[in-house]
Chains A and B, each alone.
Chain A
Amino acid sequence: MTQQDVSEVSVHINDTAVTVEQGTTLLQAARLAGVEIPTLCWAENLTPVNACRLCVVEQEGTRALIPSCSRLCEDGIRVETDSDRVRHSRRMILEFLASTNDLSQSAELQEWAESYQIDLDRYISPEKNNDEVKIEDDLFVRAYDRCVLCYKCVEACGDDAQHSFAIAIAGRGFDARVSTEYEVELPESACVYCGNCVGVCPTNALQFKVEFDLRESDEWRPEDQSTTETICSYCGVGCSLELHTQNNQIFKVTSPSDHSVTSGHLCIKGRFGWQYVHAPKYEPSKKS
């Protein structure tokens, strides 16, 4: 973009005037103004898909609530991010999700459920998603009873990151699920096990097998966990890794989504190839 293309627009967010570059979303402008808006399907390293509607805001003079993650700022508009209408809409979305899915492993959703005072008793015997956990390998599991169909994994597998297109949403309505083609098992699909889907999942529906096993055996101890940033040991790209450890054991690897080298995305070796760190030293490597 050359200098003369850049022009600025001013918007009012909760009565605060914010001036931003043209092309800025309402969500970005709100964050610049110090206003937090909850997001579920949005991520800074993915294209907005407007699936969850959690980030909706109320624009003065507009009938429908609008998604702030994708709507660009227009000069002069006034937006309310926490009006009764907005809060009511978000509360219902959170209630629908919580009535269907297991959200217990998403700290953010738990927090919002509380702050938006969701009330599941308003729903009489809601339909639950009781999908069984898919455990196909040692790398990651797919617990779709926690999946809220936010599309993040589909985007990361597709043209936002990996371009593998191994998964998409199949089925309609309540039966809609993330699926490989013809529901084949992952190794039979186009999956290259980069784990970029795991990296963007907001509900822990996709999680590392090590983490899954720790939770299953009741050894999950968030208070004993820490994260260390380092660099991948494999090729010369120099991907930044966040090693998540508990009691001296790596249980998850991520990459910062705002890092210039990775944008948060990794390959199978960087994401899962760390296990040799914990292999017994000074024995010939067991398997080839």
Chain B
Amino acid sequence: MIVAGIDVGSLTAKCVLLKDGEIVAYKVIKVSPNLEETAEKVFGEVLREAGIDKVDKIVATGYGRNKVSFADRTVTEISCHAKGALFFIPTARTVIDIGGQDSKVISIENGKVAEFVMNDKCAAGTGRFLEVMASALHLKIEELGDIAERAERATKISSTCTVFAESEVISHLASGERVEDIVAGIHEAIASRIAAMARRVKVEPDVVLTGGVAKNKAMKRALERELGMEIKIPAEPQIVGAVGAALFAMS
């Protein structure tokens, strides 16, 4: 049985092919304004890579899940991230996903979602926050983690609002703070926001961090400090949601 999971997020789209429960191919692409086209594109690329032309079942998830008209059904990213995280790390009890515009903390009991919380409407504590800050500092989002690693101390960012935080960052620059320290401060601000949210559910080990941001080592460490717990990162953190979707397609 060959199944596909497609995760259309607000920044990237991911597609995973599973053959008898094993990953045979996956792709991550940037999202274009047309979500339907994006989904078709990422699906097409994965098929090409795997050298097959058809799958038995497709499940879509993520922010744009309802735009994937060729999917057999949709499942939310909460259920998919839980399932996907368990695929990579079977001992996972808590999943933290820092998404483009939604971050979530999911607590798992007996292999199922027991509770979850998500950020309120504002973007602080999401990938979007990092993106805005990166552009304010004229940096690439992928570089942020490495830059933060070179910080001597973390500059305090006290604004919780993305817009205010952006001007705060600019004024820190103007007053001569080191870019490395500011970037470290940005990581701490997000980590503190996420940790605050996580406290509304039970945070129990193993804690797994998913989403593209999980590749950022500084973020992982900032979160570990805030939560006082070790965090595990799946081999391919960005495709966890898509893997979860594919697993739903199998059942």
Partners in one complex: no
B interface residues, Cβ below 8 angstroms from A: none
A interface residues, Cβ below 8 angstroms from B: none
